[in-house]
């Protein structure tokens, strides 16, 4: 059974980039039933620009500026999704045309309750870098649930019911509210899956050394590439190559780790052998010590030991005579 997609796009005063983001949603090969833009206290004409699109599927939630990133407002998107799937998109990120189609295949098959798609980070110079992780792989899952999130919000889609069952968005935390929600969903036992073909372009907002005008231009240029079939084919190839290079890097690192593991195991075997040798020598020393102790005990308890004391003056006289004899021989020489 085909699930229905609701797309949620939170925004605050980013009219120039939210319009390309919406355009990338409107170009999906599997159209969503609704696109909900959560305008968190926008004062830059965002609302008017979106209304001017005249798109029936576009729903605008104009809300007063909420605390922090306005996470609490996003729960309204989950409510509007009913029993369908919510797919999130950053207001400055872009989807390739088949993003919802590929994620939808997993939801339709009942294979997952939350799906993360591979993304590519777009750097200031336009270069692409892999961004994302397979949460079902134990290593990446453990990192994600502890202290490392490499997956942008625009790569996530989930059953609306899965989010409601864990309490939805936490409006009281200041940042990383998306990461907080994804972790709660996964820890609740919801199965996660991944779209291995990259379908998301992620334009990171924090730590980006780029003028806003340049950033807007860059978003528009990448949207143009997505909308042109020939350019899209080249972009897909570039994104796939980026991830294949990442896979090679991970495989190489894994091979090196295995090699280091083999070397460590060899060293451990050497240490174990030395330890066994040392233990054998210690046991031998202990045996000799026990034997010597036994002999001393026998000697102390023997008749000779009790007779030695009365004979000690005679023995001392003998030692003095022997020293004198040796001394006289030396004088003659």
Q: What is the CATH number of the domain that holds 72?
A: 3.90.550.10
Same domain, 218 and 117: yes
Q: 275 with 161: CB under 8 angstroms?
A: no
Residue 208 has pLDDT above 50, yes or no: yes
Question: Residue 265 falls within a domain, yes or no?
Answer: no
Alpha carbon dihedral 192, 123, 236, 109, in 10-degree steps, equals 10
Per the structure, the count of domains in the chain is 2
pLDDT tens readout for residues 304-321: 545 556 656 666 766 777
Q: What is the pLDDT of residue 296?
A: 53
Residue finishing a domain among 227, 262, 289: 227
Asked if 23 contacts 45 with a C-beta cutoff of 8 angstroms, the reply is no
* Candidate from 120-124, 167-171, 206-210, 265-269 with smallest mean pLDDT: 265-269
Query: Is the residue at 243 inside a domain?
Result: no
pLDDT at 130: 93
Q: Round to whole Å and give the CA distance between 16 and 27.
A: 18
| DSSP structure class, residue 72 | G
Helix 229-300 / helix 212-227 crossing angle, nearest 10 deg: 110
β strands within the chain, DSSP E: 5-11, 34-40, 58-63, 85-88, 94-95, 114-122, 128-131, 156-159, 192-202
| pLDDT tens digits along 179-205 | 999 999 999 999 999 999 999 999 998
Same domain, 211 and 104: yes
pLDDT in tens, 53-106: 999 999 999 999 999 999 999 999 999 999 999 999 999 999 999 999 999 999
State the pTM of this model.
0.75
At residue 282 the predicted structure's pLDDT band, cuts being 50, 70 and 90, is low
Domain that includes residue 308, residue range:
302-332
């Amino acid at each position: 059974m085909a699930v229905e997609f609701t797309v949620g796009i939170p925004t605050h005063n980013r009219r120039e980039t939210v319009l390309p983001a919406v355009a990338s949603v409107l170009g999906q090969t599997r159209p969503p039933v609704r696109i909900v833009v959560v305008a968190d206290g926008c004062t830059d004409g965002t609302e008017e620009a979106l209304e001017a699109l005249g798109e029936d599927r576009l729903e605008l939630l104009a809300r007063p500026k909420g605390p922090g990133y306005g996470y609490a407002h996003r729960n309204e998107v989950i409510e509007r999704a009913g029993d369908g799937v919510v797919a999130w998109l950053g207001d400055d990120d872009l989807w390739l045309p088949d993003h919802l189609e590929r994620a939808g295949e997993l939801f339709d098959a009942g294979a997952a309750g939350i799906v993360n798609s591979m993304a590519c980070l777009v750097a200031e110079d336009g270069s692409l870098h892999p961004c994302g992780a397979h949460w079902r792989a134990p290593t990446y899952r453990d990192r994600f649930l502890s202290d490392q999130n490499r997956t942008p919000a625009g790569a996530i889609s989930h059953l609306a019911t899965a989010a409601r069952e864990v309490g939805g968005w936490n409006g009281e935390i200041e940042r990383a509210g998306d990461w907080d929600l994804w972790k709660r969903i996964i820890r609740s036992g919801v199965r996660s899956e991944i779209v291995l073909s990259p379908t998301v372009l992620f334009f990171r907002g924090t730590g980006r050394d780029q003028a806003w005008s340049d950033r807007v231009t860059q978003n528009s240029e990448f949207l143009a590439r997505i909308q042109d079939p020939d350019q899209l084919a080249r972009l897909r190839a570039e994104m796939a190559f980026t991830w294949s290079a990442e896979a090679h890097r991970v495989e190489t690192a894994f091979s090196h780790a295995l090699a280091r593991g083999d070397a460590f195991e060899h060293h451990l075997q050497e240490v174990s052998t030395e330890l066994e040798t040392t233990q054998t020598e210690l046991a031998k020393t202990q045996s000799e010590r026990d034997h010597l102790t036994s002999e001393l005990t026998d000697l102390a308890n023997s008749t000779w030991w009790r007779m030695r004391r009365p004979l000690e003056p005679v023995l001392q006289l003998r030692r003095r005579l022997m020293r004198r004899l040796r001394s006289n021989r030396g004088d003659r020489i």
